[in-house]
Structures are given as C-alpha cells and as structure tokens.
Structure 1
Amino acid sequence: MALTHPRRALAPVALLSVTGLLTLTGCGGNSAAQGGDSGSATLKVGVLFPGSLSDGGFMESAYRGYQRAAKEHKGKVAFSKVEQVQAADYEQALVRFATSSDLVISLGGQTDAAVRKVAARFPKVKFAEIGGPADGKPTANLALYDPQQAEAAYLSGAAAALLSKKKTVGFVGGAELPAIVNAAKEFERGAKAVEPDVKVLTPQYVGDFNDASKAKQSALADYSAGADVLGQILNLGQKGVVQAASGKGGTLIGGPIPAECGTAKAYAASVETDIGAEIEYSTEQLVKGSWKAEAVHFGLTFDTPQNNIQLCDTADPSVAKKLDEVKADITSGKVKTR
C-alpha cells in the first residue's frame, strides 16, 4: 500500500553542549542543544520529550521532526531538549525551558496539566502541546496540536478487524488519559465499521507507555481471551506486545513508526503518523512570525497528510482496497473521528 506522502530523509545533526542553555538536575533525563551557535540564533526552542528518543514510537517519531527542524533552521533557531523525564518533574523542566526559550513544546497528553500551569506563569513565552486532549482548548499563549491519534486508531481498528481470523481484536493503551481512551473508542468504531460482527475486547491500559513487561501481560490477557490482532498506543511498551504476540501466535498493528514486516513477523500492519511534522510546523510559524495559539488537527485532512496505514506483504489485497476506502471516507469527511 503506497504512502500518502513522501518520506523525508532523516539527517543527523550534531549535538552541541551550550553552557547555560539548559541544565536539569533530578529529572531522570538529559538535555542537549543543537542547531548552531546559540549566539547567532535569533530564536530559541525547547522541547520536552517525556519518553525515550529511541522508543520506536511517539517520542522517536517526534524526535525525527525535531532533527529535521534543527537542520532546516540552522543559524536561525537554537534547539534544546530533555528526554525521559518523570511525571513529577514535568513542571520543573518546562519552567527551565520557559526562562530561556521563545517557544516551548511538550510531547504527550501526560504533560497537559503541567504545560497549562507553566504557560500561565510565562505569558510572554509561546507554548505548544502535541498529543493532548483532542477537545482541549488553546489559551492565550498555548497552541494545541492534535496528531489525530483517534483517526490513526480508527484505521488501526479497521485493519485489525479485516486481518483477524478469529474475528476478535483488542486494544492496549499506555495510560488511561482522555486522548488514549478516546482512541480506544475509535479503534472499536473502525473495527465495527468494516466488520460489524467482530468482537472488540475491553481496552487494556498499562499505566505506563514504556513498561514492556506490563504491556506484555496486558497483551497476553487479550490473546488468551481469544483476540488474534491487537491495536496499541504505546512507546517502549510496544516491545512487550511484540513478545506476547510472538509467544501466542498473534499479531499487532504497529505505529506510529512503521515496523519492518519481514524482520518482525508479529506485525500485521502499521499505522504511520508523523508526530515530528508538528514540531516542524510550530517552528516554521515561529520563524515566519505567524505563530498563533491555535488548535491544529493534523492527519489525513491536513494539507500534507500525516496518517497512513501500511500492510505487511502477506496481507490479502482486498484488505488494502477496503482500507483505501476507509481512508477516502475520512479524507472526504464522510467519517469523522475525535
């Protein structure tokens, strides 16, 4: 199945140590600045990545966009980041960024409360949250970018139902956050839309996007309950679902970074979502001087589509055709997800 938009090459960008740009202590993370000599940069952007930049999921997809933006705006923008931050330290990390940045970006709905609190404390600093509640409202200096996880989950549910031989599917989420709960509902909607008789198990919420062990247990429970294809929204925890699928002979729908079907046979398909495009978007608006505290919905209806479904090579061609129809219905507005 062809991509709906061209894949952009990921170019490595040198990491520089810049004194005084950001120093976090007691946050369980690390930070670095990149994008050129901060002395010659006119703008500064700080990005909070709560998880690992090599999680194969949401955070890594976002980091790829961070790297592209750093390359694109080298000499104009100095970027800094912090990763693997504990929930108790989100606010501290955001405050540190806010004291030295023109724009602060936070990743994931788990940061929603902290970023809203800090944005209110620093009204002259611009903030953007990626992946927060889909129905959230921007504030005077806080933009909300929705990567359309609900839309991706709808596609995932449709693919799972079409690929399931047992006609039983399930969904594993990293945490019971509003955006993830909503995605679970859309997963079921997508499944029922293409296979009305499919059984969708009660969603499982691990409690941690990165806990592979707990994710494996949740997945094993679903496979034992009769499911043979699972959808998921996890970061490092996705590895646990792969382990469970391999042991039980089941499969999963990967994403947001597509899995290599040939080397990871547990994957039946992947939903590709370019989270990093939202970092690029916010940075570009900042550089142009047109940045606004707005709610922007990315996905299939965005100018450059940011969601797609990729099937593994062994999939029935009729499944690909049906999923193309599902995508067309979303793009046309016939199917709406939130």
Structure 2
Amino acid sequence: MAHTHPRRAGAVAAGLGLVLLTGCGGASSAQSGDAGSGDLKVGVLFPGSLSDDGFMESAYRGYRRAAEDHKGKVAFSKVEQVQAADYEQALVRFATASDLVISLGGQTDADVRKVAARFPKVKFAEIGGPADGKPTANLALYDPQQAEAAFLSGAAAALLTKKGTVGFVGGAELPAIVNAAKEFGYGAKAAEPKVKVLTPQYVGDFNDAAKAKQSALANYGAGADVLGQVLNLGHKGVAQATKGRGGTLIGGPVAHECGTDKAYAGYVETDIGAEIEYATDQLVKGSWKAESVHFGLTFDEPHNDIVLCGAADPVVTKKLDNLKAKIASGKITTR
C-alpha cells in the first residue's frame, strides 16, 4: 500500500560540513552550522532534536536533501533544540544573515510572525503552523497536513482494533495537534462507524516519554487496544505502554521497517522535509511567494501515506485505499 517517493527513497549521506557553534541564548544543546556555500543563505530553526524519530527528524532529512541538491548555490545554517523563550532570538539571528528563514512547528508561530514583521525584506516560511493561519507580505505558510495523516491513522486504528475502542495521544494542545486529534476521530468513524474513540490525551511535551507512557496507559485502561499519536521522542513511551498492555499503535511520521518493533501495527508517513525542499527550490528559481501551501495527498507529489505491518487484510487495504482516494480527490477534506 505504501508508495516510495523518489525524493525520500534514501537519506542523503551525512557529511555536509556541519560546524558546532555556540547555541543562542540558553538554547538546550543548540547546534548551528553551514551546509554548503553559495550566494543565497537559508537559516532553519528546529525547536526539537534532529534525531527525535518524528517531525523534526523528518524535516531534517529534507534539509539535508535540499543542501545536497543546491550545493554551491545555497548556504544552509540551522539551530536545534531551542527553548521556547529563545525562538525570537534565534529567528532574529537568522534574519540578519539570511535570504530565507524557515521555522518548524506551530509552537514558533507567534515568534516567526513578530520577526518577519521586523525584517520585511527577508523571506520567511513556517512549516506546521495553524491550519487556518494566514500568510503575510513576507511569510509563507506550509501545511504538512498532519491532520490528513491523523485521519489515515484513525482509519487504520479503527480497522485494526479488536476491542472496538481506539485512542489518541498528542504532544501538546496546539491548534494543529488538536485538529489532528479531531481528524483521527473522523478517520476512525469513516472506516468503522461503530468504533468508540476516546477523548484525546495531551502530554504537554512532544518528547517526554514518561508522560506519554502514562497517557497511553490511561487510554488502554479505558478500553482501547490501538492508539494513534502525534509525538516525537514521546512515542517511545507509548510503545512501552503498548508492550505492557498487549495493544498496538500507529507510528510516524518517520516509518520504520515493519517487524523492528512489534508494538507498531503500522506507520503514517509524512515527509515534512519536502517543504524545506519546496521553499528552497522556489528561492533558487526566483519564484518564491508568501503563499499558503497545503501538502499531503492533494499535492502534486503526495507526501502522506499509510503503511500497515503484518499480513495485509484485503478488506482493510481496500477501505484505506478508498479513503486515500477520496482525500486526494477532495471528496474528504481534513483542515
């Protein structure tokens, strides 16, 4: 069922000449450096860890692909694991030396808007902000369609549950994550109208595995046996809870080889990094616009997919394929 897209068929080899520099204003394990050289400068703010096995890592893979594709034309710099209090300072540092500044995650929305207004001649792009957000004169908004992926996750969970009950664990109660939780429920009901969908659990931190484990245990205690999630490192805690309670979960946005962890019944893939590539491509072509772009199944090259592990049930596969087709055609909307 999963499709391998050419641009994500393999991570670009490491070795882009990253240089460890001083982190900005109290950033936790902040890393900044240049990848390649060129007349155009792109700075990227990764609030979380580049090895979080989630949103940030998926985005970083696209960062590396973009750096390789535009070697000699674009110089990239980045900072990771930045505390919320330091987002504005990190963005200002990039804005003073970059043609394009990219921020990852809806948690940066207020700061990137503030800094973009201060630097009207610099181009900005926010990936994963509020789905109903509006671009400004120099700020583009890229929607990776986490809600779309959550819809597919909910559908898969409903089709796989043996107890007739599913649940969802989100990292933080941000607009995009709340919307994803709603779409998880809609997807579950679209696949199996009689399935029970528990009230979403929000951990308060995308990377806190211990708290995520507690949230997952609460879901399992309430009768669920398949969980969806939008977490980064926190999904490891959900997997621990899953193993202890005999349930399963739907992973993602980074998919792993099935069988490597039996806690996972499947994965929803979302290529966050494709948006960094898109922004950079437009910058190099001179066609960059402060626009709102929705990626996912409705984009020219789909960036969402669902992969199920284990023996494929043809009934389940058919239902999921039908739902994907309806999303791609616009018959189902998830934002």
The TM-score range, normalised by the shorter chain, is over 0.9
Within 2, Cα distance between the matches of 1:263 and 1:23?
35
Question: In structure 2, what is the Cα distance between the partners aligned to 1:151 and 1:99?
Answer: 35
Q: Report the TM-score, using the length of structure 1 for normalisation.
A: 0.96
CA separation of 1:302 and 1:4: change in aligned 2, threshold 3 A: farther
**1:38-74: CA deviation from partner (whole Å, max 9, x where unpaired):** xxx1100000001111111100000000000000001
2:324 aligns with: 327
Aligned pair partner of 1:159 in 156, 162, 175: 156
In structure 2, the residue matched to 1:276 is 273
What's the offset of the Cα at 1:320? 1.2
Q: Give the SS at the match of 2:97.
A: coil
Q: Secondary structure at the match of 2:42?
A: strand
- Structure 1, unmatched stretches of 5+, are none
Contact 1:35 1:73 in 2 (8 A): no
CA distance in 2, matches of 1:315, 1:255: 19
Q: 1:334 to 1:4 in 2, by over 3 A?
A: farther
Q: Matched residues in 2 for 1:77 and 1:16: separation?
A: 14
- Map of 1:8 onto structure 2: 9
Question: How far apart, in 2, do the equivalents of 1:168 and 1:118 lie?
Answer: 44
| Partner amino acid, structure 1, of 2:17 | L
Q: Is the 8 A contact 2:16 2:36 kept in 1?
A: no
2:24 aligned residue: 24
Structure 2 unpaired stretches of 5+:
none
Name the SS for the 1:32 alignment partner. coil
Code of the residue aligned with 1:240 in structure 2: it is G
Residue 125 of structure 2: aligned partner: 128
Whether the 8 Å CA contact 2:145–2:295 is kept in 1: the answer is yes
Paired residues, number = 334
CA contact (8 A) 1:13 1:35 kept: no
RMSD between superposed Cα atoms in Å: 1.5
Q: What is the CA–CA distance in structure 1 between the aligned matches of 2:29 and 2:114, rounded to whole Å? A: 21
How has the CA–CA distance of structure 1 residues 294 and 161 changed in structure 2, closer, same or farther, with 3 Å as cutoff? same
1:63 matched to 2:64: no
1:200, CA displacement in angstroms? 0.3
- The C-alpha deviation readout for 1:61-114, integer Å capped at 9, x for no partner, is 000000000000011000000011111111111111111111000000011111
Q: For 1:173, which of 170, 181, 184 is the aligned residue? A: 170
2:79 to 79, 82, 87: 82
Assess if the C-alpha contact under 8 Å between 1:300 and 1:330 holds in 2. Answer: yes
CA distance, structure 2, for counterparts of residue 328 and residue 295 of structure 1 = 23
Q: Deviations over 1:184-225 (max 9, x none)?
A: 111100101111110000000000001111000000100111
Matched residues, percent identical? Answer: 78
- What SS class does the counterpart of residue 32 from structure 2 fall into? strand
